[in-house]
């Protein structure tokens, strides 16, 4: 049951003076020690609403206290873990389970030299969004809430700590630190893949809208793992409910000790207990079994996690920063590009990304592409992650201006898993050309006026290319100039793409549920939703209404799929058709249909005979 660390690969050798690697330990971490891969409260990424630092608590301790004092935390006392509270106060509630998880999480964090307070905060908050009636009840609530996007306890927990807890004067929610929030959302792993698509376990229903909506306010890195502290809390949750659900089930008589002997580990533990304590009464046997199960789980997690962490190597800028305390601005990043067919080293500061267009403009190249790993290995003798330009004289070297005059830098040694420190760029690297190659960052002074730059996200609707005389010369194009002499004209091109226009419209016209197309560009103007395909009267009315809309010149579609109403409503919101008409037996009994305007969400009940006229009015508005 190991923690899944996100970094690096195996490390064999490091040319690092005065730097030692972290080795696995056989016992608990020294008191106060913090592993280099642990979350650092002093380097927290902050809160959505800035606050002054506490003089007595770290950010993670503050998060823990806010969760404990929240209304949502107190309400866990009456929420079901396995048994409802009237069946006996010896069974665990969601609150006592949460306390169990927090205790185990702190133990794991301490043993692995992680931040105990962050693990505890995530553990205390991980179940805040649960319903009062367990997972089965959550499924029922999800079905009832389908027309409104369904229900997910993880998404609801995020809403509680970011919106629904209203205790503080300056903000809604608890205003937790980034590290605690991402732990609550991602303690069970990433939600999206590297392309922004839902991972398999989320594809059937989609990532909860509450999480996606908040991620637009404060990016939580939904495609990445959370901190090791959050992963420790997740494993602590697994340990607690596996052990304690068995404990509650045995005490309630749902199954007996012979039944759980089918589990090999439990069978061995029961034999151990019988050998050490012959004739021990059943309640004490159960307790001895449960405490041993928890101990085995924790020891397994600690041992396997230490082994994997010790094997983790350093192959990235972040690895160097985290493991060896070398921030990005003290590193030289070496990119290998093929520029007009020539393998070329491109150097930047470790914390500066390359602006591809700047490289194209600076070199005047016709073709540029990243070199392939086999090309890099053949030329430099190492793979990406261990590359550098020290001592390289047989390849062109281009460097960004930000590296001029830099000393005491770190870079790859062109030997896998070996790096160099103390690098002086002017002394140790033969730079052939210096250019401005890096991407600009928000807040930097403008080179013209000195004011801080502001970055604004935009959508490309069209583009213009200045082609010069390249093609007119090749094609022999000429025109007469003012003096009547033939000249070769300068050529340009421009384009406005349909796809780009649609992307721009979608960027502006959308909400958390999906698209909200303007009438002029919508794929259809109205959608008629038949709630029950088995109701003949409703089917007849829906089909008649659909035909009347078409006859009136309204571009309409009819959703008569054999699906739940919630699915149809969600699809209608996602596709963004401007007007939705809902036809169901209950409204038809009153002679009306429900008309919903997609952009505003406004609903109105309209007489069936007036529905077409009302739709035309809404479309003209």
405-to-409, 429, 434, 444, 463 alpha-carbon distances in Å: 11, 11, 12, 20, 38
d(CA 93, CA 79): 6
**Would you state the pLDDT for residue 329?**
87
Topology at the third CATH level for domain 58-230: Hypothetical protein af1432 (1.10.3210)
The helix/strand count (H/E) of the chain reads as 23, 18
| Structure token digits, residue 146 | 């389908």
- DSSP code for 131: -
E-state strands within 394-547? 397-400, 409-415, 418-423, 433-435, 462-468, 479-480, 486-487, 491-496, 510-511, 514-515, 526-530
Tens of pLDDT, residues 321-330 = 666 667 888 8
Q: Are residues 362 and 395 in contact, defined by beta-carbon separation less than 8 angstroms?
A: no
Cα 423-391-353 angle, rounded to 5 deg: 60
d(CA 305, CA 5): 9
**What are φ and ψ of residue 618, in 5° steps?**
-65, -40
**Would you state the pLDDT for residue 36?**
59
- Say if 58-230 and 317-435 have the same CATH topology: no
Q: Are residues 419 and 411 in contact, defined by beta-carbon separation less than 8 angstroms?
A: yes
Tens of pLDDT, residues 186-236 = 988 888 887 788 888 777 778 888 888 898 888 888 888 888 899 999 999
**Would you state the pLDDT for residue 322?**
62
Q: Which bin fits 400, alpha (ψ -120 to 50), beta or left (φ > 0)?
A: beta
Domain spans, the chain: 58-230, 231-311, 317-435, 462-496, 511-620
CATH superfamily of 511-620: Anticodon-binding domain (3.40.50.800)
| Structure token digits, residue 57 | 């608590």
Return the CATH number of 317-435, one of 2.60.110.10, 3.90.960.10, 3.60.110.10, 3.30.460.90: 3.90.960.10
What does the longest C-alpha to C-alpha distance in the chain come to? 116
**Would you state the pLDDT for residue 18?**
23
d(CA 503, CA 550): 28
**Would you state the pLDDT for residue 22?**
26
E-state strands within 555-591? 556-559, 579-583
> Starting at the edge strand that comes first in sequence, how are the strands of the sheet with 592-597 ordered?
556-559, 526-530, 579-583, 592-597, 603-607
- DSSP code for 15: -
Rg of the chain in Å (alpha carbons): 32
- DSSP code for 592: E
Q: Are residues 598 and 580 in contact, defined by beta-carbon separation less than 8 angstroms?
A: yes
**Would you state the pLDDT for residue 309?**
63
**Would you state the pLDDT for residue 379?**
92
Q: Which residues make Cβ contacts (< 8 Å) with residue 152, sequence separation at least 6?
A: 129, 138, 142, 205, 208, 210
Query: Could you list the mean pLDDT of each consecutive 10-residue stretch along the chain, which spans 621 residues?
Result: 33 25 32 63 88 92 95 85 55 86 93 90 92 79 83 89 93 94 90 81 81 89 87 93 88 88 92 94 93 92 76 60 73 94 95 93 91 92 89 94 90 79 86 94 86 84 84 92 92 84 89 93 95 92 95 95 92 94 94 95 94 94 82
State pTM to two decimals: 0.50
How many CB atoms are located within 10 Å of the residue 6 CB?
16
**Would you state the pLDDT for residue 89?**
56
């Amino acid at each position: 049951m190991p923690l899944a660390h996100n970094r690096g690969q195996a490390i064999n050798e490091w040319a690092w003076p005065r730097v030692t690697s972290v080795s696995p330990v056989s016992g608990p971490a020294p008191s106060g020690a913090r592993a280099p891969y642990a979350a650092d409260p002093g380097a927290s990424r902050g809160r959505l609403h800035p606050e002054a630092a506490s003089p007595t608590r770290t950010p993670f301790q503050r998060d823990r206290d806010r969760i404990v004092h929240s209304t949502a935390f107190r309400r866990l006392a009456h929420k079901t873990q396995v048994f409802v509270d009237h069946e006996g106060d010896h069974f665990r509630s969601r609150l006592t389970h949460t306390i169990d998880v927090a205790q185990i999480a702190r133990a794991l964090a301490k043993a692995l030299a992680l931040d105990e307070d962050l693990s505890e905060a995530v553990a205390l908050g991980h179940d805040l969004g649960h319903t009062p009636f367990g997972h089965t009840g959550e499924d029922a609530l999800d079905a009832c809430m389908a027309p409104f996007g369904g229900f997910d306890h993880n998404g609801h927990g995020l809403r509680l700590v970011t919106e629904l807890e209203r205790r503080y004067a300056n903000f809604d929610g608890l205003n937790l630190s980034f590290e605690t929030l991402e732990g609550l959302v991602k303690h069970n792993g990433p939600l999206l893949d590297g392309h922004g698509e839902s991972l398999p376990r989320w594809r059937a229903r989609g990532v909860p809208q509450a999480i996606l909506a908040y991620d637009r306010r404060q990016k939580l890195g939904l495609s990445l793992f959370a901190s090791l502290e959050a992963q420790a809390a997740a494993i602590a949750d697994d340990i607690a409910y596996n052990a304690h659900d068995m404990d509650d089930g045995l005490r309630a008589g749902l199954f007996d000790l012979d039944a759980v002997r089918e589990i090999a580990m439990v069978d061995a533990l029961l034999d151990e207990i019988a050998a050490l304590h012959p004739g021990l009464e059943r309640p004490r046997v159960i307790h001895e079994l449960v405490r041993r199960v928890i101990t085995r789980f924790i020891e397994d997690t600690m041992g396997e996690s230490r082994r994997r962490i010790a094997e983790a190597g350093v192959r990235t800028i972040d690895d160097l920063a985290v493991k060896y305390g070398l921030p990005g601005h003290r590193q030289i990043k070496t990119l290998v590009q093929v520029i007009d067919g020539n393998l070329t080293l491109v150097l930047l500061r470790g914390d500066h990304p390359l602006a591809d267009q700047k490289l194209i403009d600076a070199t005047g190249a016709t073709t540029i592409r990243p070199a392939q790993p086999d090309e890099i290995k053949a030329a430099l003798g190492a793979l990406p992650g261990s590359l550098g330009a020290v001592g390289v004289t047989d390849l062109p070297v281009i460097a960004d201006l930000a590296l001029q005059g830099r000393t005491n830098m770190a870079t790859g040694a062109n030997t896998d898993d070996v790096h160099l420190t103390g690098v002086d760029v002017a002394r140790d690297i033969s730079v052939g050309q210096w250019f401005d190659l890096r991407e600009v960052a928000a807040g930097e002074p403008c080179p013209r006026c000195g004011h801080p730059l502001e970055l604004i996200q935009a959508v490309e609707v069209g583009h213009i290319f200045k082609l010069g005389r390249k093609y007119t010369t090749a094609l022999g194009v000429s025109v007469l100039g003012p003096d009547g002499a033939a000249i070769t004209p300068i050529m340009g091109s421009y384009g406005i793409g349909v796809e780009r226009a649609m992307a721009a419209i979608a960027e502006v016209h959308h909400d958390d549920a999906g698209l909200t197309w303007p009438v002029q560009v919508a794929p259809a103007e109205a959608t008629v939703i038949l709630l029950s395909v088995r109701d003949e009267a409703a089917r007849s009315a829906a089909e008649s209404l659909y035909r009347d809309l078409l006859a009136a010149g309204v571009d309409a579609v009819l959703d008569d799929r054999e699906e739940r109403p919630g699915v149809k409503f969600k699809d209608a919101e996602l596709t963004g058709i401007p007007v939705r008409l809902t036809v169901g037996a209950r409204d038809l009994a009153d002679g009306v249909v429900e008309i919903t305007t997609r952009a505003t969400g406004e609903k109105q009940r309209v007489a069936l005979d007036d529905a077409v006229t009302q739709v035309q009015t809404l479309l003209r508005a």
